[in-house]
Amino acid sequence: MRSRQRMFAAVMRLLLKCLRLGRRRRFKLVRQVEQLWHYGHLCLRSLFYNSFTDSDVVLDSLFEPVYWLVDHVTRWFGVVFVALVIGLTSSIVAIVYICLLPLILQTYTPAWICWHLAYGHWNLIMIVFHYYMAITTSPGHPPQAKNDLTGVSICRKCIAPKPARTHHCSICNRCVLKMDHHCPWLNNCVGHYNHRYFFSFCLFMTMGCIYCSISGWEMFRDAYAAIETYYQTPPPTFSFRQRAFHKSVVYLWVLCSSVALALGALTLWHAALITRGETSIERHINRKERQRLQKKGKVFRNPYSYGSWDNWKVFLGVDVPRHWLTRVLLPSPHLPHGTGLSWDLPPCVTEQRAPLLAI
């Protein structure tokens, strides 16, 4: 009886020992799996490691296919938009030459004829020159090679130095000096070297549209009244030529007045930005910075603003008074101040200001 009890106790001890061993093995296996998982995770992360990675980069990466599609569509639409600008402008010029000019020459006094011929042609030359220059001039890009630029950040897309005021354009897929925005109507970025051409084009196009709307108002009223009589009974006996004339005048006036309103608003917006010495992108950056500093009780000062008047002189490249005629009122291919890589005080700025630092 006692030997049986002893045997039972020995079996129980062995069983307990076995159970302990199984538990230890299970722990060992779990630890091995855990180590393998950590090792695999580390290997995977090391393949995609980037010290700049944050939630924005992850979100950007997830939306990359959408950006790719939008960028490609915008790039393709750029060509269509440029063709549209050239086509619509040409149609207006053709209507003015074919329909309106003979009428002006027949009915107006010599003084008014001279005014219309001089102003109309000057305005047309300014529009064509500035549009051509805006679409063909490169906005300027920072050098890709290693250089001695100081105080610059690095573009995460180009992996290259990014000077102050430079921003990356996802449509052009390049960094652009003093980038304002990517303009589909130019199929080009607006930056350091073509910002003046872009603004001058907007300004002269608006002026041209206002000129056509004002000088064509009487003709538009008559043509519109004539078109309304088309549906009377009996219908009026207008010839094909007269009907084409009426429709052309209405088309000209509606298009010019619409463009004058839309482009006029855009031109005013850009004029306000130029007065403040800001680009469209800097407008948002500076507003945030202004709010941030305001909370701390500090005042934000735009380091690229030299005062309203000097901002315009720097933007237009007016160094001496005669430049208002030769560089602003006449077509001029002069280059802007500086290289767009660093922002030193331009020579035409009258006020003495502290040297600027690249941000």
**Beta-carbon count within 10 A of 30 CB:** 10
DSSP assigned state of 108: S
CB of 139 to Zn ion, least distance (A): 8
- Can you tell me the distance from the alpha carbon of 59 to that of 62, in angstroms, rounded to the nearest whole number? 5
State which residue, 175 or 209, has the beta carbon closest to Zn ion.
Answer: 175
CB of 79 vs Zn ion, minimal distance in Å: 14
Tokens representing residue 220 in the block: 């538009």
d(CA 210, CA 255): 11
Q: Which is nearer to Zn ion, 175 or 256 (CB)?
A: 175
Binding mask 135-174 for Zn ion (x = CB under 5 A): --------------------x-xx---------xx-xx--
For the CB of residue 336, give the shortest distance to Zn ion in the complex, in Å: 18
283 binds Zn ion (CB under 5 A): no
2: tokens are 């006692």
If binding is defined by CB under 5 A, does position 189 make contact with Zn ion? yes
181 binds Zn ion (CB under 5 A): no
Residue recorded with tokens 């073509």:
194
Nearest distance from residue 274's CB to Zn ion, in Å? Answer: 20
Q: How do the residues of the chain divide into helix, strand and coil, expressed in percent and rounded to 5?
A: 65, 5, 30
Measured CA to CA, the distance from residue 18 to residue 156 in angstroms comes to: 59
Backbone dihedral angles phi then psi of residue 160, each to the nearest 5 degrees: -150, 160
b/e per residue 108-145 (b: at least 16 CB within 10 A): eeeeeeeebeeebebbbebbbbbbebbbebebbbbeee
Choose between 126 and 177: whose C-beta lies nearer to Zn ion. 177
Q: How far apart are alpha carbons 147 and 11 in whole angstroms?
A: 81
Kindly report the length of the chain. 359
Q: Which is nearer to Zn ion, 60 or 319 (by Cβ)? A: 60
Site residues for Zn ion, 26-45, by CB under 5 A, read none
Phi (first) and psi of residue 174, to 5 degrees: -145, 160
**Residues 82, 133, 134, 175: which binds Zn ion (CB under 5 A)?**
175
**Per-residue DSSP letters for 340-352?**
SSS-PPPTT--S-
Q: Which residue has the tokens 């309106």?
A: 100
Nearer of residues 157 and 288 to Zn ion, judged by Cβ: 157
Q: Which residues contact 164 (CB under 8 A, 6 or more apart)?
A: 151, 152, 342, 343, 358, 359
Asked if 162 and 175 count as a contact pair (C-beta separation under 8 A), the reply is yes
Nearer to Zn ion, 247 or 283 (CB): 283
The Cα–Cα gap between 325 and 47 comes to 60
The string of DSSP letters for 317-328 reads T--STTHIIIII
**Interacting stretch for Zn ion, rule CB under 5 A, among 62-70, 93-101, 181-189, 309-317?**
181-189
* Residue 202 near Zn ion by CB under 5 A: no
Indicate which residues carry an active-site annotation.
Answer: 183
The answer to whether residue 182 forms part of the interface with Zn ion (CB under 5 A) is: yes
Give how many residues touch Zn ion by CB under 5 A.
10
Minimal distance, residue 320 CB to Zn ion, in Å: 34
Least distance from C-beta 58 to Zn ion, angstroms? 19
Q: Which residue lies nearer to Zn ion by CB, 189 or 316?
A: 189
Minimum distance, C-beta of residue 183 to Zn ion, in the bound complex (Å) = 8
User: What is the x/- site pattern for Zn ion, positions 44-83, by CB under 5 A?
Assistant: ----------------------------------------
- Which stretches of the chain bind Zn ion, using CB under 5 A? 155, 157-158, 168-169, 171-172, 175, 182, 189
